[in-house]
With several copies, the nearest count.
Chain A
């Protein structure tokens, strides 16, 4: 019973990402999209990395914002992948 977390807000601006981290479980996965891409620059991303949760980043949304993705730590995904991810998890929680 795993959860997919869609993070759409910058942690520099709102508390949504911090609240997501409170809820996230070991077998969950996370997607950074929209302004959630800015979290690649935020210290809180290290909490998620340390928890060994897969961190997906919607590539187009990061590229539009001139945010580079370290492929050793993060998975670049397309909108097709996002559709698959939402289908392959038991539930989706959107943090916006």
Chain B
């Protein structure tokens, strides 16, 4: 087997932003992979889609609001951000996100894109 120098990583976010540290822990991995110029993509499914919704403010509940760091994705060359349309619809949510680059995918597109990555980590 040949080792691949830059294996693509998909991070699948499944948890809401404030109730657990999962979203923050996943973000830390994304930023490190970005800063090492690795190919990293972010996926949001289930309650993970809440991480992308506009007008949230964690400071009201004394959370250091890591969602604000999402605006630094461009700086880290993290350009592929995908959200599952079905998860949005189930939650009666519109495409009103706090960052610009989000791509809304149908379930089959979402699955196809996710499994085009060599490594998938889920938080």
Contact = CB atoms under 8 A, between A and B. Distances in A.
The answer to whether A binds B is: yes
B118 A90 contact: yes
Interface in B13-61: 14-19, 45-47, 50, 53-61
Nearest to A95: B122
Interface residues of B, number: 39
Q: Interface SS of chain A: helix, strand, loop or mixed?
A: mixed
Contacts of A25: 111-112, 115
B63 interface: yes
Nearest to A28: B115
A12 to B, nearest CB: 5
Contacts of A12: 46-47, 90-91
B86 interface: yes
A65 B15 contact: no
Contact of B115 (A1, A15, A35, A42): A1
A19 B120 contact: no
Q: Would you list the 5 A-B pairs with minimal beta carbon distance, nearest first?
A: A35-B19, A64-B60, A66-B55, A66-B56, A64-B61
Interface of A: 1, 3, 8-10, 12-13, 15-16, 19, 22-25, 34-35, 38, 41-42, 60-61, 63-66, 90-96
Given A22-B111, A95-B122, 8 more contacts: A22-B110, A34-B19, A41-B93, A63-B57, A64-B61, A65-B17, A66-B56, A92-B120
